[in-house]
Structure 1
Amino acid sequence: MPVNDLPEMTALERIIEEHHTDFSVSSHGKVDADGQCFPIYSISIGNPDPAAPAVGFFGGIHGLERIGTQVILAFLHSLATRLRWDHVLHAQLQSVRLTFMPLVNPAGMSRSTRCNGRGVDLMRNSPVQSAERVPFMLGGQRISRRLPWFRGKEGQPMEIENQAVCRQVQDELLAHDFSIALDCHSGFGLRDRIWFPYACSTTPIRHLPEVWALHELFSQTYPNHNYLFEPQSRQYLTHGDLWDHLYLKAAENERRIFLPLTLEMGSWLWIKKNPMQIFSRTGYFNPLPMHRLQRVLRRHLVWLEFLVLAACGHRRWLPEGPARLESSRRAFDLWYRGAAA
């Protein structure tokens, strides 16, 4: 593997090199960062049968948010190590497909910027246009790449990184009847949040009952968890959200269930515990002390492993008939009625 000065890429390539016989590995082209080229990798493992469920894990879409990539790498490392000895895992992988893109934006991470190497915010870069009022600038802007939240020029194709994510989702998730995607971010609030679409609209998604059922399943299984589940629109609206785009694409097939989720880690808590981090660009989005980083990596493994188990057993908890109507009512009461009022 090529030598680079990006530790997260080094860790990813080490996993690929040591476990290449266990995984299916693809490279979706390369991106440039100040003369250094970085590949965009994806890794898949498990049953590719469309009848089997699938789960995708994505990180590093915003280059400043290294912790998202580190969480995915910690889970991937654990999975790869368990393949050596865990016969239960081998049996599990016969009934589920897993795919990983731990470092979607290596150029941005190398430069410690939110945007990619061309100055584009990948989470504002899809063609989705909100019909509702979005916050100025934060909701996405086309004024200049020198300003934050730049969407890219009007009429231009999505950035290469987003095209890679879309291909991977299309091939490895939307090819399955049931799938979940988890995208790991940081930088908002004092609590860890699980966001679901839409970011472009306050209208509930069609699969609101399924999201509610997943939320209930996790809360019943791990009643002491500290995640806050909510639609992203409850916090702010944006143009160009990548997961809105992919959810709408998936919804073209009414029989398909695709649940894209975002883990938004509450970095304000890290700043509260260590106020000096606010003077560091990376410190605003990542836990800097080693003991705190290790604690964060341990804590979220439960959530990632749960998603795999939930996908494997999805037929046992997906609501149907009257239960689906009841789930929809309860979800609307919790997440939308108060906002509407």
Structure 2
Amino acid sequence: MNRPVSVVELDELNALLALGAGCVDARSLGEVEVGQQRLQLWSLALGAADDELPAIGFFGGVHGLERIGSMVVLAWLRHLLTRLPWDDSLRDLLTRVRLVFMPVVNPGGILRRTRANPQGVDLMRNAPVDADDKVPYLIGGQRVSARLPWFRGLPGVPMQVEAAALCQLVTSELSCRRFAVSVDCHSGFGMQDRIWFPYAHTRRPIEHLAELHALHALFEQSHPHHPYVFEPQGMQYLAHGDLWDFLHLQIAGSGRVFLPLTLEMGSWRWVRKNPRQLFSRQGIFNPQIAHRQQRVLRRHLPWLDFLTRATASYQRWLPQGEARQRHSSLAQQRWFQVASA
């Protein structure tokens, strides 16, 4: 029998499943086959299970090449689990918020070191959403061939098992609540770390633009020296099949607030510091030197901690009435260059 291939992210996920036994709700949302191996699609949850309370989800590894995304989510989960035995403030926080994790959305891609899943499908181009304007050639999603990057899958074919599992988890744990946030960790775009929010399929503003602006303002007040550019993804490029667009569109007009965010780590900065990384597919998307990887894993913990606390306390800052109108106007000016009335 062939011995299973060991992968750092999958080994760490298994270690955290063991560490969290008894305090973490762990579920397999399905499985994928890669050669002789069958890999589970794990979700983990801790904290309040009451559907009336808010929730936040953390996702990584949608693209198998972007391993650092999974590492960031796993580092945050380990940080929480190792604090649980002694940190009363964390225990109190978890009575007021639900935390949901899917650290390795695409274990087959992680194992094979590919952006796409083992079927050659780019999971972040796999949802049934088409852009309402021209998209960049190939990058915006294509249906020509799984041999080319950014393949959406064939028309009329159900979503891939990994994408469907993510959507199932979001629907059952996040978007069904009055208030929820998600953060999906990626890498590979530009010199700066960015926080993107929907939409990717259109340049029109999202329904919850005012709430996103209020969250951004809260973060800037409490972390004035943060490293992030906060913007709608559509400011950079449009794409077909974005999973977060699809999930947000499902709750449009429902009165619920779901804020899907993407942490897009600027991997070009790592390449600039170590140009030899250009000669490695892994190096283009991930820091290759140990101390730089450790720095990245530390760098984003304050952002994830802020989001968790802001979610738990959303009723204290979520804009209503005139405040919501003000935030909407400021957001239009900031991100869509629309003058206020």
**Residues 1:167 and 2:172 are matched in the alignment:** no
Q: For residue 3 of structure 1, report the CA deviation from its aligned partner.
A: 5.7
| Residue equivalent to 1:224 | 225
Equivalent position SS for 2:230: strand
Tell me the TM-score normalized by structure 1. Answer: 0.97
CA displacement 1:310-329 (0-9 Å, x = unmatched): 00111111111111111111
- C-alpha distance in 2, partners of 1:337/1:50? 37
Please tell me the residue identity of whatever aligns with 1:147.
Answer: L
Q: Which amino acid aligns with 1:204?
A: P
| 8 A Cα contact 1:43 1:99, kept in partner | yes
Would you say the 8 A contact 1:193–1:228 is kept in 2? Answer: yes
- CA offset digits 1:190-227 (Å, max 9, x no partner): 00000000000000011000000000000000000010
- SS at the partner of 1:194? strand
Matched, 1:313 2:313: yes
Q: What SS does the corresponding residue of 1:326 show, helix, strand or coil?
A: helix
| 1:290 counterpart = 2:303 | no
Displacement over 6 Å in runs of 4+: none
For residue 284 of structure 2, give the secondary structure of its aligned residue in structure 1.
coil
Q: 2 CA distance for matches of 1:265 and 1:213? A: 23
Is the contact between residue 4 and residue 10 of structure 1 (CA under 8 Å) also seen in structure 2?
no
Aligned partner of 1:280 in structure 2 is: 280
Distance 1:84 1:3 in 2: 33
Counterparts of 1:246 and 1:252 in 2: how far apart (Å)?
13
Distance in structure 1 (CA, Å) of the matches to 2:332 and 2:55: 27
The residue that corresponds to 1:178 in the other structure is 179
Q: Distance in 1 between matches of 2:303 and 2:19?
A: 26
Is structure 2 residue 25 aligned with structure 1 residue 24? yes
Q: CA deviation at 1:175?
A: 2.5
What TM-score, normalized to structure 2?
A: 0.97
Distance (whole Å) between structure 1 residues aligned to residue 251 and residue 17 of structure 2 = 29
State which drifts further: 191-200 or 318-327: 318-327
Moved more, 12-21 or 110-119: 12-21
CA distance in 1, matches of 2:252, 2:67: 31
1:101 aligns with 2:102: yes
Give the match for residue 303 of structure 2: 303
- Give structure 1 stretches of 5+ with no counterpart: none
Equivalent residue for 1:34? 35
- Aligned position for 1:143: 144
Q: Who is 1:265 aligned against? A: 265
* Secondary structure of 1:75's aligned partner: helix
Kept in 1, the 8 Å contact 2:196–2:264? The answer is yes
Per-residue Cα deviation, 1:47-103 (whole angstroms, up to 9, x for no partner) = 121221100000000000000000000000010000111111111100000000000
Counting matched residue pairs gives 336
Q: Once the 2 structures are TM-superposed, how far is the Cα of residue 337 of structure 1 from its aligned partner? A: 1.3
Once superposed, what is the RMSD of the aligned Cα atoms? 1.1
Amino acid at match of 1:263: L
State whether residues 268 and 284 of structure 1, in contact with CA within 8 Å, keep that contact through their aligned partners in structure 2: yes
Any idea what SS the aligned residue of 1:58 has? strand
- Identity %, equivalent residues: 52
Aligned to 2:111: 110
Tell me the amino acid that sits aligned with residue 43 of structure 1.
Answer: L
Q: How far, CA to CA, are the matches of 2:240 and 2:42 in structure 1? A: 27
The AA in structure 1 aligned to 2:195 is: I
What SS is found at the alignment partner of 1:183?
Answer: strand
Choose 140-149 or 320-329, whichever is displaced more: 320-329
**How many Å separate the matches in 2 of 1:330 and 1:38?**
46
* Structure 2 gaps, min length 5: none
Do the aligned partners of 1:59 and 1:101 also contact (CA within 8 Å) in 2?
A: yes
Q: Distance in 1 between the 2:321 and 2:20 partners?
A: 44
Q: Which residue is 1:323 aligned to?
A: 323
Q: Secondary structure at the match of 1:229?
A: strand
SS at match of 1:283: helix
C-alpha displacement of 1:250: 2.2
CA contact (8 A) 2:4 2:37 kept: no
1:46 aligns with 2:47: yes
Structure 1 position 282, deviation (Å): 0.3
